[in-house]
Structure 1
Amino acid sequence: MKKIFKLLLIGFMVVLFGCGKEEKKEITISAAASLKEVMNEIILEFEKENKDIKININLGGSGALKNQIISGAPVDIVFFASQKDLKDLDEKGMIEKNYNEDILKNRMVIVGKEKINDLSEIKNHKIAIGTPETVPAGKYAKEVLNNSNLWNEVQNNIVFSKDVRSAMQYVEIDEVDYAFIYKTDAKIMKNGIISFIVPETLHKPIIYSYGIIKDKNSKEVIKFYEFLKSEYSQSLYEKYNFEIANK
């Protein structure tokens, strides 16, 4: 009898203390691959300040992330390297009205192993760009090549990648001679240099937009949304060569 009572007491204590332990609130953000390093730092600081919240991050090409969300992927916040991808979700009624805005600016560069003085010098070289249909950096790269009357001349030499980081890696492992990537990605490149800074007149402005998914505006999600545009986060964006959109 004593043994049964002891087991019941242990079971009661497990239930009592188990119920008293509050589970962390989990938030999932889908973010452009070019945000990887800065998002890791932001999340680390946010979780340090908010020990009851855990942030999960899903990185990739903005167009691919958008399509995942349209297909029902469980996401709370999106952070795209493209105004259009956020606008597409907004037009489908999938973004909270009061929680979406432009936040960052970036620049397009060509990276390789040596400098070039003119865009035309990439002709007859193997080039990596993100797949234009799903990767904003690839879309901007195609726009640059079209506006420079080079697309038809280089098209057969292009290697398409799943995101901007993959395009950069093709240069680092010598699979291609040049790649169109963001200035921010070039900062973390280990085996290559900025060969050419693309004039901004050759493409639309590179604007990053973010927002909360419809009906996901819990107090915890809003807290993280606000933290993403805080002075602390802005200092980290600038550390990684991003520009603040509204400055």
Structure 2
Amino acid sequence: MKKYTREIIFSLLVTFCLIAFLGCQNANTNENTELIIFGASSLSDALTEIAELYEENNESVDIKLSFASSGTLQKQIEEGAPADVFISAGIKQMDTLEEQELIVKDSRMDLLKNELVVIASKGKEDKIKTMDDLSKPDIDKISIGTPETAPVGRYAKETLVNLELWDGIQDKLVLGKNVRQVLSYVDTENVDAGIVYKSDTKVMKNGSIALTISDELHSQILYPLAIVNDSKNKDKCNDFINFLQSEEASEIFENNGFSVLK
């Protein structure tokens, strides 16, 4: 009788362990994949909307978005910050990561194009009819992104240098860490004017567009993307990148002021 009791207990233990093992396997199978997307600040509105749409269609994937200036995100990737996909507002930052073999070279592509505009704070829109007006006394403070870290600032500096305005407005400059900070300075009337991407003016509250800057005055504004080399979810990254090129995503980008590159 004792022998049978031991056998029954042993069988129950084996069955329990098997059930527990299968339960763990199912739990692991049901775990969502987390994709961390590093995006330039100017992408925050469009990319947030696209990520929500992607998650609706892919319940097993959680998208985590991190926005900052492209230079800041580049440095974070260089320092080993966890990221799966990087979408930059400048080619320089992506080139640097590619030289260090920190991105998957074959995954790199140009996704979007943008324009540069001059925005004016409330009451100053009539004072800016040409770029030369930025050097006049009526315009006291001008904000641009920090050229060394924010591509929008580099494009702005290129424009001002090419127009031979750069040296004459140094005392007026207020540098922002990214394009959204520049926009905020103008919106809150802390500065009279700023240079930002056209796409960012969609969220402007009090300021207005004074001028559109000719593409001939600065480098082409392209948004390259690539998979980060240390990503453990490259298949899911490819799927997300494909979705970024879909009609649904393209419509969102265009509604936010971007031009989608086909």
The C-alpha deviation readout for 1:34-68, integer Å capped at 9, x for no partner, is 00110011100110111011011110100111011
Q: Tell me, yes or no, if structure 1 residue 180 matches structure 2 residue 180.
A: no
Q: Structure 1 residues 14 and 170, CA, compared in 2 at 3 Å: closer, same or farther?
A: farther
Q: Tell me, yes or no, if structure 1 residue 78 matches structure 2 residue 123.
A: no
Distance in 1 between the 2:95 and 2:248 partners?
27
Count of paired positions: 239
Task: Note if contact 1:207-1:245 (Cα within 8 Å) is conserved in structure 2.
Answer: no
**Counterpart residue identity of residue 97, structure 2:** L
Distance in 2 between the 1:155 and 1:73 partners?
35
Distance in 2 between the 1:233 and 1:110 partners?
27
Shift of 1:97: 2.4
* Secondary structure of the corresponding residue to residue 45 of structure 1: helix
Q: Tell me, yes or no, if structure 1 residue 160 matches structure 2 residue 149.
A: no
Q: Tell me, yes or no, if structure 1 residue 119 matches structure 2 residue 114.
A: no
* Secondary structure of the corresponding residue to residue 105 of structure 2: strand
Distance in 1 between the 2:186 and 2:234 partners?
42
**Counterpart residue identity of residue 85, structure 1:** Q
* Secondary structure of the corresponding residue to residue 187 of structure 1: helix
Q: Tell me, yes or no, if structure 1 residue 223 matches structure 2 residue 229.
A: no
Q: Which structure is higher in helix share?
A: 2
Distance in 2 between the 1:191 and 1:239 partners?
20
Counterpart position of 1:5: none
Shift of 1:19: 5.4
* Secondary structure of the corresponding residue to residue 195 of structure 1: strand
Task: Note if contact 2:84-2:234 (Cα within 8 Å) is conserved in structure 1.
Answer: no
Q: Give the TM-score normalised by the residue count of structure 2.
A: 0.86
Q: Which structure is higher in strand share?
A: 1
Distance in 1 between the 2:129 and 2:42 partners?
26
What is the percentage of aligned positions where both structures have the same residue?
A: 36
Q: Give the TM-score normalised by the residue count of structure 1.
A: 0.91
Counterpart position of 1:3: none
Counterpart position of 1:56: 64
- Structure with the greater alpha carbon radius of gyration: 2
More displaced 10-residue stretch of structure 1: 83-92 or 14-23: 14-23
Task: Note if contact 2:227-2:234 (Cα within 8 Å) is conserved in structure 1.
Answer: no
Distance in 2 between the 1:48 and 1:151 partners?
47
Distance in 1 between the 2:117 and 2:21 partners?
58
* Secondary structure of the corresponding residue to residue 39 of structure 1: helix
* Secondary structure of the corresponding residue to residue 148 of structure 2: coil
Select 1:25's aligned residue among 33, 43, 49. Answer: 33
Q: Tell me, yes or no, if structure 1 residue 149 matches structure 2 residue 164.
A: yes
Distance in 2 between the 1:136 and 1:33 partners?
10
Shift of 1:20: 3.0
Counterpart position of 1:4: none
**Counterpart residue identity of residue 72, structure 1:** G
Counterpart position of 2:229: 214
Counterpart position of 1:232: 248
Distance in 1 between the 2:158 and 2:108 partners?
26
Distance in 2 between the 1:215 and 1:206 partners?
27
Task: Note if contact 1:69-1:75 (Cα within 8 Å) is conserved in structure 2.
Answer: yes
More displaced 10-residue stretch of structure 1: 139-148 or 121-130: 121-130
Task: Note if contact 2:146-2:177 (Cα within 8 Å) is conserved in structure 1.
Answer: yes
CA RMSD, Structure 1 to Structure 2 (Å): 2.1
The C-alpha deviation readout for 1:140-193, integer Å capped at 9, x for no partner, is 001111011111111111111110000000011111000100000012111110
Please list every run of 5 or more consecutive structure 2 residues that lacks an aligned counterpart in the other structure: 1-12
Shift of 1:227: 1.1
Q: Tell me, yes or no, if structure 1 residue 97 matches structure 2 residue 105.
A: yes
Task: Note if contact 1:161-1:167 (Cα within 8 Å) is conserved in structure 2.
Answer: yes
Shift of 1:129: 0.6
Counterpart position of 1:87: 95
**Counterpart residue identity of residue 179, structure 2:** V
